[in-house]
A and B are shown apart, each in its own frame.
Chain A
Amino acid sequence: MNRQTILDTKELEINMGPQHPSTHGVLRVRLKLDGERVVDAESIIGYLHRGVEKIAENRNYIKCTPYFDRTDYIAAVSNVYGYVLGVEKMLGIEVPERARRIRIMMTEFNRIASHLLWLATHAIDIGAMTVFLYCFREREEILKLFEAIFGARLTTHAFRLGGLWLDMPPGFEAACRKFIDEFPARVDEYEQLLTRNRIWLERTKGVGVISAEEAIDWGLSGPPLRGSGVDHDVRRLRPYGGYEQFQFDVPMGKHGDTYDRYLIRLEEMRQSRRIIAQILDDLPDGKIRGRAPKIPKPPVGEYYSAIESPRGELGYYIVSDGSPQPFRLRIRPPTFISLQALRRLVRGHLVADVVAIIGTLDIVLGEIDR
């Protein structure tokens, strides 16, 4: 029998979440601590599971669109975009050029909004309170744009099969232009507060390092993969929806640490702005919706459509049996896969790093739990 003596040391097991300010939703992490050092961590998910994939099997292709707003609610536009593109591919629907461009523009706005939310929460996790509110100020402007064109701020139900629901309202283009004119100065402002801040550097450099091989092995995508120096952006590799027409850079990191991922996301916001500027300069007139069937019945087969969501490669794998409902629909959520890296990344770090690493993976629990 084990007898405890006063000199025995015991690992402290501590439960972080599901109600915790820094677990970005309802992630629960069971930490084993040796003092402040993390010995082991286990992430427990499923608190937000709604069975979206199963629900989709019981709805027709049009009716299940709004459910994908609610998987990754931070990037609702991107999520619906991926799904709509997939179904259009199955049915061979042609989308008018104007609608294609507006779609890309709104998706890029969504990328900016999503990265802003990420920066806000990441910064407040590390203690920089002011950046949080600055980011929300700009995100608010984007949400106002969403409201103007989609009628909703968060769960936008942005796109329809064949194009858009409505064209841009009057004054919308001017509002977009105003935003992209002001935006670069705002990003510089965040950089001023953080990029060369000693404390920020010490908190993020060398924290949560992912090597390029590891990143590929784990199947990471998006900023966590590019932060390790792997050139992988679906917009570049397998252009969809007309991305090949636009000029943009894919920023990449060297060290694969939290700081590199921070720089990458900031640069991605600037690149998104660049794409939007190109679209606004050259937006053709014309129809906003092509011909699409009222009740789509895609031909029998298996389809995969992937887009670069703000968090990485977002894939929709759809199996059709010729009926109006998908036979099986499977989402490849980028952060579900990123989260797997958490355990490896936090081992040996301190408690304070755990929140930084959760932040840098940019998880959204709605997408992980689906």
Chain B
Amino acid sequence: MAEWIIVYGIIPFAKVAVIVLVLSGAVAYMTLLERKVIAHIQVRLGPMRVGWHGLLQPIADGLKFILKEDIVPARSDKLLFTLAPAISLIPAFVVFAVIPFGPPGMMEGLLRWVLAPFMDTAAVESIATQSAASGGFVTDINIALLFVLSISSVGILGVILGGWASNSKYPLLGALRSSAQMISYEVALGFSVIGVLLVTQSLSLVQIVENQREAEVWYIFYQPLAFVLFFICGMAETNRLPFDLPEAETELVGGFHTEYSGFRFSLFFIAEYAAMVTVCAVAVTLFLGGWLRPFPNVEWLSFLDLIPPLLWFVIKVFLLLYVFIWIRGTLPRYRFDQLMSYGWKVFLPLALANVIVTAGVVLVFM
């Protein structure tokens, strides 16, 4: 077999398969985690019946969704109605193609072990040392960050189309809200990222983490404001409380997915949680040093290297997700006009100011 088929075909495909499976599982257990954490915030127990402390609850839920009757409203736009959940779901997963879970060369040992029985040593060596094959990521493209931003905006289309195709008033209101909200927060989100770009001078996510390793400091210390803005806008992008207006169940009875049921609904649901994971993963990569251990410059903390890079990444993402859930258990919901005015009048100017100050500092000192 030709080497390039293995490096650019089989290995990435295997990685994609693993990511899709793991991510689906992670999303399913995100829902359980959220229910449990919120339950404990609210002095209850949460799911307790299915499995030990409700551990099998996500599986039961998934089964329930699949077995439910698939209802399509009579006067809806059938094609768009069917398409919308997929449009929402696919971008949420595609983004993970460029997110680095671990450093280049993370899989070298694994590849050697797997390939050794099939090939001679020289071939194994040449494959295992190629970063495309052995990196802790599917692919490292030089415009990865732009790719993330553009692909994740496509998910909004699913929400808009879903609300529109339902041919019902509440979903339509929800879809209008979400399109307005997501577009306005996208702008501030984009600007908050530019600060990091100015510092690191690269759009490749792998390179950004590598630069943080070389600089021996996480970018959150260079760009604290940008991190806060990115996190808040990310919350708005993923429709989480206090910005969950498109769904606002006490106002719009579910918003854009009011008319969806069964499996189609679950696709929207998974997309929402996957988007949360995406935002957290990007935030970790840009600001929290990706797979790096805390304080990479402090020598006596080197015992932390015992935890593998991949696990550090997962721990950081998990912590950010926990903050998402924590906020949901604490805050009320904004009103639509307030949300818009925050987006345009507070977050966008702050992000712009951050860009200008950062640019000035970079120009003078670097």
A interface with B by C-beta (< 8 Å): 12, 14, 20-22, 33, 35-36, 123-130, 132-134, 137, 193-194, 197, 199-200, 202-203, 350-355
How far, in Å, is A120 (CB) from chain B's closest CB?
11
- The answer to whether B44 touches A133 (Cβ under 8 A) is yes
In the bound complex, how far is the Cα of B38 from the Cα of A314, in angstroms? 39
Instruction: Point out residues on B near A: beta carbons under 8 Å.
Output: 38, 41-44, 169-170, 173, 176-177, 241-242, 244-245, 248-253, 328-338
**13 A–B contacts, CB within 8 A, in A order:** A14-B173, A22-B250, A33-B173, A36-B173, A125-B250, A129-B42, A130-B38, A130-B41, A202-B335, A203-B338, A351-B251, A351-B252, A352-B248
A202 touches B338 (CB 8 A): yes
Q: A22-B250, A22-B251 are in contact. Are A352 and B335 (CB under 8 A)?
A: yes
How long is the Cα–Cα vector from A20 to B250 in the complex, in angstroms? 8
Q: Is the CB of A127 within 8 A of B250?
A: yes
Contacts A129-B38, A134-B42, A351-B173; A197 near B331 (Cβ below 8 A) = yes
Report B313 CB to chain A, min CB distance, Å: 30
Closest 6 CB pairs of A and B: A127-B333, A128-B332, A133-B42, A127-B332, A22-B250, A352-B335
B332 and A199 contacting across the interface, CB-CB below 8 Å? yes
Chain A residues with CB under 8 A of B248: 127, 352
Q: How far is the CB of A27 from chain B (nearest CB, A)?
A: 14
With beta carbons under 8 angstroms apart, the residue of B44, B331, B337 that contacts A128 is: B331
Q: Are A134 and B43 in contact (CB under 8 A)?
A: yes
Chain B residues with CB below 8 A from A130, complex form: 38, 41-42, 329-330
Residues of B within 8 A of A21 (CB): 249-250, 253
State whether A350 touches B335 (Cβ < 8 A).
yes
Q: Which residue of A lies closest to B244 (CB)?
A: A127
Distance between Cα atoms of A352 and B340 in the complex (Å):
14
The answer to whether B251 touches A199 (Cβ under 8 A) is no
Assembly CA distance A197 to B327 (angstroms): 13
Q: How far apart are the CA atoms of A12 and B42 in the complex, in Å?
A: 38
A18-B329 Cα distance, complex, nearest whole Å: 28
Contact between A352 and B336, CB atoms less than 8 A apart: yes
Inter-chain contacts of A351 with B (CB < 8 A) = 173, 251-252, 336
Least CB distance, A165 to chain B, in whole angstroms: 34
What residue in chain B is nearest A121 (Cβ atoms)?
A: B250
Residues of A within 8 A of B337 (CB): 36, 350
Given contacts A126-B333, A129-B329, A355-B251, 19 further A-B contacts (CB under 8 A): A12-B169, A14-B170, A36-B336, A36-B337, A125-B250, A127-B244, A127-B250, A129-B241, A130-B330, A134-B43, A137-B43, A199-B242, A199-B332, A202-B338, A203-B334, A352-B251, A352-B335, A354-B251, A355-B250
Beta-carbon nearest neighbor of A353 in chain B: B335
B42, A200: Cβ atoms closer than 8 Å: no
> Chain A's nearest CB lies how many Å from the CB of B109?
47
Residue of A nearest to B38 (CB): A129
- Nearest residue, chain A, Cβ from B42: A133
Residues of B within 8 A of A194 (CB): 332
Evaluate contact between B331 and A199: CB separation under 8 angstroms. yes
In the complex the two chains form, what is the Cα distance from A12 to B169 in whole Å? 8
In the bound complex, residues from chain A placing their C-beta under 8 Å from that of B253 are 20-21
Asked whether, in the complex, the Cβ of B334 is within 8 Å of the Cβ of A202, the reply is yes
Give Cα distance in the complex from A132 to B43, angstroms.
11
Determine if A203 and B332 form an interchain contact, defined as CB atoms under 8 angstroms apart: yes
Which residue of B has the minimal Cβ distance to A354? Answer: B251
Q: Report A-chain residues with C-beta under 8 Å of the C-beta of B170.
A: 14
